Copies of this chain bind each other. A is one copy, B any other.
Amino acid sequence: MIAESLTCQPALVSMRDLDVRTVEALIHRAEEFKHGAQLELAEPVFAANMFFENSTRTHTSFEIAERRLGLSVVDFNPQASSVSKGETLYDTCLTLAAVGVRLLVIRHSQDAYYQELLNQPALPVALINAGDGSGEHPSQSLLDMMTISETFGGFSGLKVAIVGDLNHSRVARSNMEVLKKLGAQVYFSGPEAWYDKRFDCFGQYLPMDELVDQVDVMMMLRVQHERHSDDASFDQADYHQQYGLTLERAKRMKSDAIIMHPGPINRGVELASDLVECPQSKFVEQMRNGVFVRMAMIESVLRGNQLGGLA
Contact = CB atoms under 8 A, between A and B. Distances in A.
B263 A54 contact: no
B95 A263 contact: yes
A228 interface: no
B56 A67 contact: no
Contacts of A77: 77, 80
Given A99-B61, A267-B88, A288-B99, A56 B74 contact: no
Contacts of A68: 100
A86 interface: yes
B60 A76 contact: yes
Interface of A: 46, 48, 51, 54-57, 59-61, 63-64, 67-68, 72-77, 79-88, 91-92, 94-96, 98-101, 122, 225-226, 263-267, 276-277, 284, 287-288, 290-291
- Which A-B residue pairs are the 10 nearest by beta carbons? A98-B287, A87-B264, A56-B82, A56-B81, A82-B264, A57-B95, A61-B99, A98-B284, A98-B288, A54-B84
Given A56-B76, A56-B96, 19 more contacts: A56-B82, A57-B95, A57-B98, A59-B75, A63-B74, A64-B74, A64-B101, A77-B80, A79-B79, A82-B263, A85-B226, A86-B266, A91-B276, A92-B264, A94-B284, A94-B287, A95-B263, A99-B287, A100-B291
